[in-house]
Amino acid sequence: MHIGVMRLVLEIPGARSLKDKRQVVRSFKDRVRSRLGISIAEVDHNDKLQRATFGIAVVSGDADV
């Protein structure tokens, strides 16, 4: 069994409100989940308008995946 973990910091320079940020974060998470089939969650910088930090994890029984 292989486990992959990643921390990704995303800059959102166009976000002028929390609503703008949430729209970008939601869209990004949905696209990553649907295209790659991995787990992703926002884990830090919840109070910053122009930055989001994601925790990403994947588990596979095959090393080539």
- Looking at residue 48, the DSSP 8-state letter turns out to be -
pTM: 0.80
pLDDT tens, position by position, 43-56? 998 888 999 999 99
The answer to whether 53 and 11 have CB atoms below 8 angstroms apart is: no
Beta-carbon contacts of residue 5 (< 8 Å; ≥ 6 apart): 55, 56, 57
Please tell me what DSSP assigns to residue 44: E
pLDDT digits (tens, 9 = 90+) for 10-45: 999 989 999 999 999 999 999 999 999 899 999 998
Structural contact between residues 64 and 22, judged by C-beta atoms closer than 8 angstroms: no
| pLDDT score for 8 | 95
If one compares 56 and 65, the residue with the highest pLDDT of the two is: 56
**Tokens representing 31?**
């696209």
Instruction: Tell me what pLDDT residue 1 has.
Output: 87
pLDDT exceeds 70 at position 65: no
